Amino acid sequence: MTEPKIETVLTSDLITLEEPPAEKEATIEFLLDQAVEAGRVTDRETALEALLAREAETTTGVGMGIGIPHAKTDAVSEPTVVFARSSTGVDFDAMDGEPATLLFMLLVPAEGGEEHLELLSSLSRALMHDDVRDRLHEAESKAAIEETITEAVA
């Protein structure tokens, strides 16, 4: 399988400029609802169970103000990335103790194991760069966010 292109997994309808809730589980549901509204999730409850089960295994707070809740589930029709940012930060139990202000939810079909890892790896590598994180914090439109992520992952 080839890695899905970021442009197909993160579209403007999967980017929100709305402030997410302050608590981790509520934030996960908030991000999931973006995917549901975009028509990417076939069964919200199953997807939520998969996300919360993954979260219970180990934190998805990767540090540097980034949270990447993710799951493989039959409840999603295609690889999907949802993006939101928090002005106050959400506690994702990151190793560095910093709250997550840049939030990415990654959902892939259950049989998409390799895609999932490749996409997570590409996204994580891109987010290690200070300038990418700064641009995401400063972006004033969905288009600017989409462009920043697309360029960074490419």
pLDDT score of 3: 57
Confidence (pLDDT) at 112: 66
How far apart are the C-alpha atoms of 122 and 133, rounded to whole Å? Answer: 14
For the packed helices 113-127 and 142-153, what is the interaxial angle rounded to 10 degrees?
100
Which residue ranges of the chain lie beneath pLDDT 70? 1-4, 112-113, 115-116
Residue type present at position 64: M
Q: How far apart are CA 129 and CA 22, in angstroms?
A: 25
Say which of 70, 116, 129, 137 is annotated catalytic.
Answer: 70
Q: Is 116 a catalytic residue?
A: no
Full-prediction pTM beyond 0.85?
Answer: yes
pLDDT of residue 89: 96
Q: pLDDT tens for residues 57-92?
A: 998 999 999 999 999 999 998 889 999 999 999 999
